[in-house]
Amino acid sequence: MASRIPDEVMIDAALIKELAGVAKDTALLQGVLMRTKESPNSSELVTYAPFTLFPSPVPKSVFLQALSVQTHFNTLVDKISQDIDFLQEALASTIEVDDFTARLFKIHQQILKEGRSQQSIVLGLNRSDYMLDQREDQTSSLKQIEINTIAASFGGLSSQTPEVHKHILKVAGRLEESQRILDNNPAAGLARGLAKAWELYGSESQRTLFFMMEEVQRNIFDHRYIESELWKRNIPTVRKRFDDVYKTGSLDPDKRLFVDGKEVAVVYFRNGYMPQNYTNEQCWDVRLMMERSQAVKCPDIGTHLAGTKKVQQVLARPGVLERFFPDQPQAVQQMRETFAGLYTLDMGPEGDKTVAMALAEPNRFVLKPQREGGGNNIYGSEIVKVLREVRGSTERTAYILMDKINPAPIQNYLLRRDSPLVISNCLSELGVFGAYVRQGAHMVMNECVGHLLRTKSSEHADGGVAAGVAVLDNPLLV
């Protein structure tokens, strides 16, 4: 069990208690904030967003590997989003049984039928997530968990957490480690992408930029960092619900989107990534209207679909990356190195083989439906149960199977409101933010804009920060 903070610090209860108090105050000072469960839609009651007391060690080589492959993943997502045949083929079996993906796909089809709008500006803001699989020789290899192409969060708060860990390490007498905490500012990079798309849209001063928000807004401060970066550039940035847009939104004959009488240049979806976000049919109407419109969508429907787990599984098949990068064997190799084993559950002999393999050793795998937001995956004996239930039925094609990644546990303290201060065995997940803007055939921007480390107790198989399982962290490069 590795821990770079000396044991005598980790087990000194009085010191830990003092440090935890300082850490929480520092998080509040730095704006590492979240609204509370009791009042998710008001800022009268806020608390610190959950975070680790100490940063977690991450090997430098693996960290740099994750950063350096990001622009290739940006390009990949962008290429997939434009490849009609690929998306159709990859998702054919999934949309037979998964209603949510089917609805998204239907929007995609409808737009194709009507002809794409004149809009040639594409904005992609994504986050590629990884865990470090521990090899037998104790080294670790970078394995991609997924790419989030819609509503990838924590770019704002993770811009503020480095100061908290820098400070706490100093107070703990670890000045040298403190100086090794990396600066990080995904909020600025994501905002740069949004601002670029807004600029390219046209020169009218009245055009607005929309943040589509959820009904429950505990994580509003994460958004606010990006919003304030946009307001600094004098970009009118407005938060809206699907319902608001339904009431006052329309398309003009040129398919320009108007809401409250103002033209919308960019729609940034921080909502719409899971079925529960579409509380009524009007929400779907709005998503379709936006997709039809000339406004830049982040993401557009093709890019949203490119982020499905089914697409991820298909990408891992031999020859598929080559299809998108025919002349770039190095890029292909760099991306493929990060792929874990991914297996189809389509009907047929290959899918049957996957089922047999999973039933024989369920603890080696994760069973994944086409869902986002954490807490949806299936592990261990549950895999057996679910696969037995769907045996011989097309229902199984709603899932994919993935090798389970096993990182080395690291001890840390998870600071969360109203939770006891206890040492936990923890697992971390590294996210890398990508931002790109394309105008027609020209890539105007393609960047890696920062990182996110999230850490959870190893008792939990699944779940992100918003799901109440993981907490914010920072890498300490070793």
Q: Is 174 an active-site residue?
A: no
CA dist., res. 312 & res. 316, Å (int): 7
Closest Cα to residue 41, out of 218, 210, 240, 213?
A: 218
The β-bridge relationship of strands 342-343 and 257-259 is unpaired
Q: Which of 166, 174, 310, 368 is catalytic?
A: 368
State the distance between the two ends of the chain, measured CA to CA, in whole angstroms. Answer: 15
In the block, tokens 């409250």 appear at 260
Partner touching 376 among Mg ion, ligand ADP, none, CB below 5 to 8 Å by kind: ligand ADP
Q: Which of 239, 262, 373, 468 is catalytic?
A: 373
Contacting range for ligand ADP; rule: CB under 6 A; set: 86-94, 346-354, 399-407, 413-421: 399-407
> Residue 353 Cβ, how far from ligand ADP at the closest point, in Å?
19
Neighbours of 72 (CB within 10 A): 22
Distances (CA, A) of 117 to 113, 254, 273, 301: 11, 9, 23, 13
For Mg ion, give the closer residue by CB, 74 or 148: 148
Q: Which of 256, 431, 454, 474 is catalytic?
A: 454
**What is 15-46 written as a DSSP string?**
HHHHHHHHHHHHHHHTT-EEE-SS-TT-TTSE
DSSP 394: G
Chain positions 349 to 378 lying near Mg ion, rule: CB under 5 A, are: 372
Q: Is 89 an active-site residue?
A: no
> Residue 311 Cβ, how far from ligand ADP at the closest point, in Å?
13
Residue 430 near residue 423, CB atoms below 8 Å? no
- Count of chain residues binding ligand ADP (CB under 6 A): 20
Q: Is 395 among the residues that bind ligand ADP (CB under 6 A)?
A: no
Q: Is 372 among the residues that bind ligand ADP (CB under 6 A)?
A: yes
For Mg ion, give the closer residue by CB, 154 or 278: 154
Give the helix/strand (H/E) hosting 227.
helix 220-232
Interface pick for Mg ion out of 148, 338, 370, 428 (rule CB under 5 A) = 148
Contacting range for ligand ADP; rule: CB under 6 A; set: 217-225, 343-351, 356-364, 366-374: 366-374
Closest Cα to residue 139, out of 54, 65, 61?
A: 61
For ligand ADP, the nearest residue by Cβ is 405
Chain positions 452 to 471 lying near ligand ADP, rule: CB under 6 A, are: 462, 464
For ligand ADP, give the closer residue by CB, 246 or 339: 339
Q: Is 163 among the residues that bind ligand ADP (CB under 6 A)?
A: no
Query: How remote is the C-alpha of 223 from its chain's centroid?
Result: 14
CA dist., res. 297 & res. 285, Å (int): 15
Which residues are annotated binding-site positions for ATP? 146, 309, 368-377, 379, 402-405, 429, 456, 462
List of residues contacting Mg ion (CB under 5 A)? 146, 148, 372
Binding site for ligand ADP (CB under 6 A): 129, 131, 145-146, 340, 366, 368, 371-374, 376-377, 402-405, 429, 462, 464
Residues annotated catalytic, as ranges: 127, 146, 148, 153, 309, 368, 372-373, 454
